[in-house]
Structure 1
């Protein structure tokens, strides 16, 4: 039995907002509830509703900028920067800028739509 797994076919999460989400490891791809790792590209002027997830989320910006509204505090990360957001924190992710933002998101435990608790628009 191999002691490694190479992900060659990440699950592309269907979206309606133009955001690309490729889950490499997590519930949808490897049925792993402990961690999810996803490559994402948020188009210019993209945003999603506030959420209060039951998991920690780490974000690393590969290219561009991404805005975080964390409990009312606006934080902007740029290429090469990263952030860890604790679970049960109210946060809104967005890209209000004119260029796409490419980033890696890691959630522990894994991202789960049931546990993200997105607010209605």
Structure 2
């Protein structure tokens, strides 16, 4: 295993396992709507209908698929309350909260370098 050193310019060395892990999470977040769903949940949307309403353009079918993927990846927790009708709520897991904190530098990069609408 190669030692990894973080500098101001980025990762100087990355071994195969580190690359695989980073690629895995980037691919998950790269799925359409995944990031939007995580942000919606972080902003307080806890029910399926709230998430769909918050993430504009997200269909019920894709919301269900993405929520299952994010839950399977350990980024969100799904809590089912056996009421009539059944109540399902979603929340960021500790791993999901940690990921959103790690995405902060990407958001800052986007603010600096991505063109604003109308530019």
The higher radius of gyration belongs to 2
* TM-score, normalised with respect to structure 1: 0.23
* TM-score, normalised with respect to structure 2: 0.23
Higher strand content, 1 or 2: 1
Higher helix content, 1 or 2: 2
Query: Greater relative contact order: 1 or 2 (C-alpha under 8 angstroms, separation 6 or more)?
Result: 1
